[in-house]
């Protein structure tokens, strides 16, 4: 059973080994943001925390964010990642409900807005908890190591997506990340961008490490790291 912490009366963070996912509860509905790693029973965890009906919204399709998909009948996520990250193959019985930029979910007095931020994956999204002024950033803004190697990553789009989050900074007071430290200051997208530019432009030879069978450069910037293709 993962460790569960209350972020406020209606928001939970569910710590699941090296990743976390979230339950946000409105007056009528609740949404699980991601479903963790090796956590096939994610829906029963959510149901143990709220009596409201729970929908599942995914920040992106990587395996450590989607393990509990099969405990739901349908999943809200981008078409790009449903097919591009193998979610459709792993969970053929689950129905895709496509989401796109600007789409809003009304949970009853609580709105979640989708912001597409391709780069880490083609179909990554951030989720703005509008009234609570929190931005759930998935993997794309965090103070750990951001995976940017492999064919589904797009460095140019990643940079544009960080700028997109920076442009709406007046709409959130904190950033909530899926890995490493859970709650970051609202200026952390700027910090990730600063580290990204530092790493990309440094001309340094970063150390090579093995990451799940791939050799990658481990590039540490001042505010976060990146695993980049060799
Ligand atoms: Zn992840």
Q: How does pLDDT run across 144-196, given as a tens digit for each residue?
A: 999 999 888 999 999 999 999 999 999 999 999 999 999 999 999 999 999 99
Q: Are 122 and 152 in contact, with CB atoms under 8 Å apart?
A: yes
For residue 177, report the distance from its CA to the centre of ligand 1, in Å.
Answer: 9
CA distance 87 to 91: 6
Q: Distance between CA atoms of 95 and 27, rounded to whole angstroms?
A: 25
Quote the pLDDT of residue 74: 98
pLDDT of residue 212: 87
* Confidence (pLDDT) at 151: 85
Centre of ligand 1 from the C-alpha of residue 95, in Å = 22
- What is the 153 CA–ligand 1 centroid distance (Å)? 13
- Is the C-alpha dihedral spanning 194, 197, 200, 202 positive or negative? negative
Distance 39 CA to ligand 1 centre (A): 14
- Name residue 211's beta-bridge partners: 214
Domain residue spans in the chain? 3-200
20 CA distance to ligand 1 middle (Å):
9
211 C-alpha to ligand 1 centroid (Å): 13
Q: What is the length of the chain?
A: 230
Residues paired with residue 154 on neighbouring β-strands, in sequence order = none
The whole-number pLDDT of residue 1 equals: 78
Q: Which pLDDT belongs to residue 21?
A: 98
Three-state secondary structure call for residue 126: strand
pTM, rounded to two decimals: 0.97
Residue 1 to residues 6, 88, 179, Cα–Cα distance (Å):
16, 26, 18
Q: Please check whether the domain covering 3-200 is classified as CATH 3.40.309.10.
A: no
Counting as low any pLDDT under 50, the low residues of the chain are: none
């Amino acid at each position: 059973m993962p460790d569960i912490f209350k972020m406020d009366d209606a928001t939970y963070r569910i710590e699941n080994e090296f990743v976390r996912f979230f339950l946000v509860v409105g007056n009528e509905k609740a949404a699980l943001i991601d479903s963790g790693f090796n956590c096939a029973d994610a829906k029963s965890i959510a149901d143990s925390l709220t009596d409201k009906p729970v929908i599942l919204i995914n920040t992106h399709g990587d395996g450590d964010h989607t393990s509990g998909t099969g405990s739901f009948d349908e999943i809200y996520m981008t078409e790009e990642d449903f097919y591009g990250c193998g979610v459709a193959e792993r969970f053929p019985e689950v129905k895709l409900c496509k989401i796109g930029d600007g789409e809003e979910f009304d949970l009853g007095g609580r709105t979640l807005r989708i912001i597409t931020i391709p780069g880490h994956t083609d179909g990554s999204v951030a989720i703005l908890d509008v009234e609570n002024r929190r931005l759930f950033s998935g993997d794309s803004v965090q103070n750990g190591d951001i995976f940017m190697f492999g064919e589904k990553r797009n460095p140019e789009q990643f940079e544009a997506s960080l700028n997109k989050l920076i442009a709406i900074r007046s709409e959130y007071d904190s950033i909530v990340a899926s890995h490493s430290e859970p709650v970051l200051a609202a200026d952390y997208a700027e910090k990730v961008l600063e580290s990204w530019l530092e790493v990309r432009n440094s001309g340094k030879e970063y150390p090579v490490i093995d990451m799940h069978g791939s050799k990658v450069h481990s590039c540490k910037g001042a505010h976060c790291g990146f695993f980049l293709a060799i």
